[in-house]
Amino acid sequence: MNRFPRRAIPIQTGRLRITFETPGFTFILIAMIGSEITARFPSSPGVYIMKGADATVLYVGKARDLKKRIRSYFAASGDSRYHIRFLMARVTDIDFIVTDTEKEALILENTLIKQYRPRYNFNLRDDKTYFSLRLDMAEEFPRLTIIRKVTRDGARYFGPYSSAAAARTVLKQLYKLFPLRHYPMETCRKRKRPCLFYQLRQCSAPCHGLISREDYAALAEGAGLFLEGKNREIVRIFKERMAAAAAAEKYEEAGRFRDLVRSIEVTVEKQKVVAQGGDSDVVGFYRDDERLNIALLFIRGGSLIGSRNYSFSWEMDESEGIASFLNEYYNQDVFIPPEILLPVPVSEPAPLEELLSERRGKKVSIAVPRRGVRSELVRLAGKNAETSAQEKKKALESGESVLRELQERLHLQKSPRRIECYDISNIQGRLPVGSRVAFLDGKADKAHYRRYRIKGVDQSDDFAMMREVLSRRFRQGAVEEEYPDLIVVDGGIGQLNVLTRVLEELHVEGVAAAGLAKSRVEREMGGAEINRSDERIFLPGRKNPVVLRQNSAPLLLLARIRDEAHRFAITYHKKLRGRELVTSLLEGVPGVGKKRRNELLRHFGSMKRLGGATVAELLEVPGMSRTVAEAVWEHFHPKEEQE
Question: 100-159: per-residue pLDDT in tens?
Answer: 888 888 888 888 887 888 877 776 654 455 678 888 888 889 988 888 777 777 788 877
List the CATH number of the domain containing 71. Answer: 3.40.1440.10
* Whether residue 563 is found in the same domain as residue 520: yes
Q: Show the domain range for 90.
A: 6-116
* DSSP annotation of 628: H
* Whether residue 63 is found in the same domain as residue 108: yes
Across residues 20-41, what is the average pLDDT? Answer: 46
Residue 167 lies in a domain: no
- Whether pLDDT at 343 is above 90: yes
Question: Which tops the pLDDT comparison, 244 or 151?
Answer: 244
Could you tell me what percentage of the chain is helix, strand and coil, using 3-state DSSP and rounding each to the nearest 5?
45, 20, 35
Residue 545 lies in a domain: yes
Q: Which of 41-45, 410-414, 448-452, 604-608 has the lowest mean pLDDT?
A: 604-608
Strands across the sheet containing 156-161: 144-147, 131-135, 156-161
pLDDT reported for residue 98: 87
Residue 381 lies in a domain: yes
- Whether pLDDT at 562 is above 50: yes
Q: Which amino acid is at 462?
A: D
Q: 18, 29 in Cβ contact below 8 A?
A: yes
Q: What are phi and psi of 68, to 5 degrees?
A: -65, -40
- Whether pLDDT at 84 is above 50: yes
pLDDT reported for residue 428: 64
Q: Report how many domains make up the chain.
A: 4
- Whether pLDDT at 183 is above 50: yes
**Mean pLDDT of the residues in the chain:** 78
* Whether residue 504 is found in the same domain as residue 611: no
pLDDT-derived band at 254 (thresholds 50, 70, 90) equals: confident
pLDDT reported for residue 33: 44
Give whole-number Cα distances, 610 to 184, 192, 600, 623, 639, in Å.
Answer: 19, 20, 7, 16, 18
Residue 306 lies in a domain: yes
Give the whole-angstrom CA distance, residue 406 versus residue 61.
Answer: 44
Q: Is 327 exposed, middle or buried (0-12, 13-18, 19+ CB in 10 A)?
A: buried
* Whether residue 321 is found in the same domain as residue 436: no
Question: 595-625: per-residue pLDDT in tens?
Answer: 787 777 777 766 777 777 888 888 888 888 8
pLDDT reported for residue 438: 92
pLDDT reported for residue 161: 72
Which runs of E-coded beta strand occur in 454-560? Answer: 486-490, 512-517, 521-523, 530-532, 536-538
* DSSP annotation of 128: P
CB count within 10 Å of CB 343 equals 22
Query: What string of DSSP letters covers 64-81?
Result: SSHHHHHHHHH-GGGTT-
List the CATH number of the domain containing 292. Answer: 3.30.420.340
Give first-to-last CA distance, the chain, whole Å: 69
Give the whole-angstrom CA distance, residue 305 versus residue 272.
Answer: 9
* Whether residue 48 is found in the same domain as residue 107: yes
* Whether residue 453 is found in the same domain as residue 366: no
pLDDT-derived band at 579 (thresholds 50, 70, 90) equals: low
pLDDT-derived band at 420 (thresholds 50, 70, 90) equals: very high
pTM confidence score: 0.58
Question: Which tops the pLDDT comparison, 128 or 461?
Answer: 461
* Whether residue 629 is found in the same domain as residue 535: no
Give the whole-angstrom CA distance, residue 628 versus residue 500.
Answer: 54
pLDDT reported for residue 340: 93
**Which 3 state secondary structure label does DSSP give 488?**
strand
Residue 216 lies in a domain: no
